[in-house]
Structures are given as C-alpha cells and as structure tokens.
Structure 1
Amino acid sequence: MLQLPDVVRDRGSKYAVSGGKVTSREEADAFLAELKRDKKFAKATHNTWAVILSDGTPLKGDDGESGAGNVILRMLEREGVSDRIVVVTRWYGGKHLGGDRFRHVQTCVRAWLEESTG
C-alpha cells in the first residue's frame, strides 16, 4: 500500500491518497477495510475510490462525495492503469469547496500515479 498522507489542504479540509494492487471486488473491499483499520481514515469524512480490473470492469465508490469516484475512474482510464485501487480521503474542514473539491481529487490521484509509477 502506497500512502501520501497530506497532499492538499484547503479551507480547513485535508486530503490524502492511498492505493495498491487489487484484482477483484473482494480485494477492493479488503483494501478499504484495511485502510479504515487506521482510526484516522475510519473517521475521515469521505474515502472515495476507484479501480479498473484487468478484465475492464470499473468499480468505484463516492462515500458521500458525489461524483468523486468518477473523477478517479476517468483518470485511471486515461492513464491505462488497471488492477490498482486509488482511494482519496478527505477530512472536511467546515467550509464548502464547491468544484475545487474535484480539482483536489485530481491532484491527489496525479500525486499517487507519479509516486507509484515514478
């Protein structure tokens, strides 16, 4: 598991990104469960995620941050990345970020892709 703990801070919100190899829905669920064993991630406002399995099956979860899973999925598709789950975690800081929240998700995914393939 590759974790980047403090990628973006904006108006009190904090973002982190994690990811690793998964080859099935069950492994994706296990990855998320393992991540949430860390109380810090379990208490996060959102743990949004996506993965494209090697058979082409897209999986995603918004965890209350509507549309964020799709943002991650589109970035993985563009990069041709499969069997790698990417989870963007947000701790809400009390102020709405509007569309900036999607830019922050993109920044996190880019950082993870750079670190993991780097």
Structure 2
Amino acid sequence: MLQLLNVVTDRGSKYAVSGGPVTNRKDIDAFLKQLKRDRKFAKATHNTWAAQLSNGTPLKGDDGESGAGMVIVRMLEREGLQDHVIVVTRWYGGVKLGGDRFRRVQDCVRAYLEELPPSAG
C-alpha cells in the first residue's frame, strides 16, 4: 500500500491519497477495510475511491463526495493504470469547496501517480 498524507490543504479541508494493486471488487473491499483499520481514515469525512480493472470494468465509490469517484476513474483511464485502486481521503474543514474539490482530488491522484514505482503501472 502506497500512502501519501497531507497532500493538499484547502480552506481547512485536508486530503490524503492511498492505493494498491487489486484484481476484483473483493480486493477493493479488503483494501478499504485495511485502510479504515487506521482510526484516522475511519473517521475521515470521505474515502472516495476508484479502480480500472484489466477486464475493462471501472469501479468507483464516492463516499458522499458526489462525482469524485468518476474523476479518479478518468485519471486512471488516461494513465492506463489497471488493477489498481486509488483512494482519496478528505477530512472536511468546515468550508464548502464547490468545484475546487474536484481539483483537490486531481491533485491527490497526480501526486500518487508521480510516486508510483514504474513497475506498478
């Protein structure tokens, strides 16, 4: 599991990004369960995630951050990264970010992809 904490802070909201290899929905559920074993992530406002499976199936979960999972799916598709889940975690800071929340999700995914070892993709 690759994890980057405090990737972005915007108007009080803090973001982190995590990810790892998966091959099916069961793997994704296990990954999310493992992530949420960390109390900090379990108490987060949103754990938005997406994966592009090698069979062509995109899977996503917004966890209350409507539309954010699709942002991650599109980035995975552009990158050609398959069989890998990326989770963007947000701790809400009290100020609504509007459309900027999607830019923060993109910032997190970009940071994650930059840190990913070449062999992982």
Bin of the TM-score, shorter chain as denominator length? over 0.9
Distance 2:24 2:99 in 1: 31
Cα RMSD for the two superposed structures: 0.7
Which whole-Å deviations, capped at 9, do the CAs of 1:59-112 have from their partners, x for residues lacking one?
000000000000000000001000110000000000000111000000000000
* Structure 2 residue aligned with 1:98: 98
Distance 1:78 1:64 in 2: 24
Which whole-Å deviations, capped at 9, do the CAs of 1:4-63 have from their partners, x for residues lacking one?
001000111000000000001000000000000000000000000000111111100000
What is the SS of the residue equivalent to 1:31? Answer: helix
* Structure 2 residue aligned with 1:64: 64
* Structure 2 residue aligned with 1:110: 110
Question: Which amino acid in structure 2 is aligned with residue 116 of structure 1?
Answer: L
* Structure 1 residue aligned with 2:34: 34
What is the aligned-residue identity percentage? 75
Gaps of 5+ in 1: none
Gaps of 5+ in 2: none
Q: What is the count of residue pairs matched by the alignment?
A: 118
* Structure 2 residue aligned with 1:16: 16
What is the SS of the residue equivalent to 2:93? Answer: coil
TM-score normalised to the size of structure 1? Answer: 0.98
Question: Which amino acid in structure 1 is aligned with residue 59 of structure 2?
Answer: L
